[in-house]
A and B are shown apart, each in its own frame.
Chain A
Amino acid sequence: MAGEGGRDVLVPVGDSETLRRTVTYAVERAYASVTEDADEGEVTVDTVGTPLTLHFVYPARWRTVEADPADVESARTLLDRVVAWAREDLDGLTAEDAPETVVFESSIVGTNEYVFSPGDFADVIAGYAAANDVQRVVVDPSFRPGGSAPILRSFEAELADRGFDVLEAPVTRRTRRSLPFTAIGLPEFFVVFSASFLFYLALGGWHVTDPYELITGVATAGVVAVTLASVALKGEVPNLRFVAATLARLAAYTPILLWEIAKANVALAYVVLHPRLPIDPRMVEFDAAVWGDMPVTTLANSITLTPGTLTVDVSRQHFLVHALIPDAETDLLDGKLERLVRFVFYGRESARIASPRERLDDREGES
């Protein structure tokens, strides 16, 4: 199967600066592999009859099951444009009356599930690939579905794990403003630079009039921004109003978290110092209704810091938590922390989503 059906190539598509050139590359590769076969004399009437298919797949990035029609519309538009580009590239490669060697298909996948981590995206891509018998994937290096949080593995690695032949398109991100070493834009650079500069000054005692401090600060912040801006911001400049709102809600969240931590420690101290050691260790699994790497990381760390619970493993929104004391499990499934984290990152409305226990009951009713 892999030899025959494996000729097809899949290209995950998303908004990225190098999408245009990735398409060109994928078309060239596909065309080359068809013609290579021909050169080796392997092309029979049969294989010409079934041209290589280039699948353009758009993994849905909207976060709710009910998609916003505008999002779907823009995904469709993007796919249409990609196919048009591909056709254009192919026309440039082939003679006019040549038989069809490469055909294109486009599709939106993952609309029915929560996808946010690279692994998630890889899963929906793998699902599509299995259904269409595709082995080879051409990825756009600047398309980072699910972000590039260090705690999660990269999209390419996740795809390679699933047995695909992953080929990274040799495109470098267009450097719109020529900055050394990295391909970050000016806004990203500026955000990271100012943050590091202020941090440097603050640590140095805020001697804002001292030229020495200023010069070393600029140098340090420059190095930090150039080397780390793409990591720190995942290549996106955050929306300032959104960040401000998140920070404000985070400030409200902190005292609650501190209180929970205090309670956790008193409870734990009681258990640890109790002569009979009344613990009840167990693993609890649940799916948290939070999406995105920052919220998930926050929730995971909050869980670790609060009543007798320790986050063991997180894969997408699926949490594996070790609970030490009996009450801990109850607290966890009541979803207080989860609700708070949702409040911090998505605003007040989202805090009303059902608790893990209610969702668990729902799911058991279904299955």
Chain B
Amino acid sequence: MTPIEILAAVFVVVGTFFGFVATVGLVRLPGLYARLHAASKSDTLGSVLSLAGIAIVLGVSTESLKLVFLLLFLFVTSPTAAHAIARAAKEEGIEPTGEDARIGDEGGES
């Protein structure tokens, strides 16, 4: 294995790890909003890292350029999608759950 391939492998492994975290988070976290955190962050990083790993292996080529574009679009669309879901949930009146679920700045902050 060349150093480049090792680097790429590291990217893919770390990416897969975060994909795994996203899945565990989706199952373990309570409530819609908390789960969205897992979906919007870990999942994005997971796929982005895996794509980056592949782009590294391919080197400078049209394919890796496409991967870079894909990566950029994921960075933009994934939080936007999470935001859209969260906003829809809020408009439906779904409350954030958890011991300390409350609206922040008005209730007096510690």
Task: Determine the main DSSP class of A at the interface with B.
Answer: mixed
**Residue A284 lies at the interface, judged by CB distance under 8 Å to chain B:** yes
| A310 at the B interface (CB under 8 A) | yes
Cβ-neighbour of A279 out of B17, B21, B40, B98 (below 8 A): B98
Q: B73 contacts which chain A residues (CB < 8 A)?
A: none
Size of the B side of the interface (Cβ < 8 Å), in residues, is: 45
Query: Interface residue tally of chain A, by bracket?
Result: 35 or more
**A276-298 interface code vs B (CB 8 A; 1 in, 0 out):** 01011111111000000000010
Residues of B within 8 A of A (CB): 17-18, 21, 24-25, 28-31, 33-34, 36-38, 40-42, 44-45, 62, 65-66, 69, 75-76, 78-80, 82-83, 86-87, 89-90, 96-106
In this assembly, does A102 line the interface, its C-beta being within 8 Å of a C-beta of chain B? no
User: Which residue of chain B lies nearest to A283 when distances are taken between CB atoms in the complex?
Assistant: B103
Cβ of A310: which chain B residues have Cβ within 8 Å of it?
Answer: 33, 36-37, 40, 82-83, 86
Contact of A308 among B30, B37, B98, B100 (CB under 8 A): B37
25 sampled A-B residue pairs with Cβ under 8 A: A203-B62, A204-B62, A261-B45, A268-B25, A269-B18, A269-B42, A272-B24, A272-B25, A272-B29, A279-B30, A281-B33, A282-B101, A282-B102, A282-B104, A284-B105, A300-B79, A300-B83, A304-B82, A310-B82, A311-B79, A312-B33, A312-B86, A312-B89, A313-B86, A313-B90
Within 8 Å by CB of B40, from A202, A203, A304, lies A304
- Nearest 10 pairs of A and B residues by beta carbon: A304-B79, A281-B98, A284-B104, A272-B25, A205-B62, A301-B79, A312-B86, A269-B21, A322-B33, A265-B45
**With A268-B41, A281-B33 already in contact, 17 other A-B pairs whose C-beta atoms are closer than 8 Å:** A262-B45, A265-B45, A272-B38, A273-B21, A281-B101, A282-B98, A282-B101, A285-B104, A286-B104, A286-B105, A300-B83, A301-B83, A304-B79, A304-B83, A310-B82, A312-B87, A313-B86
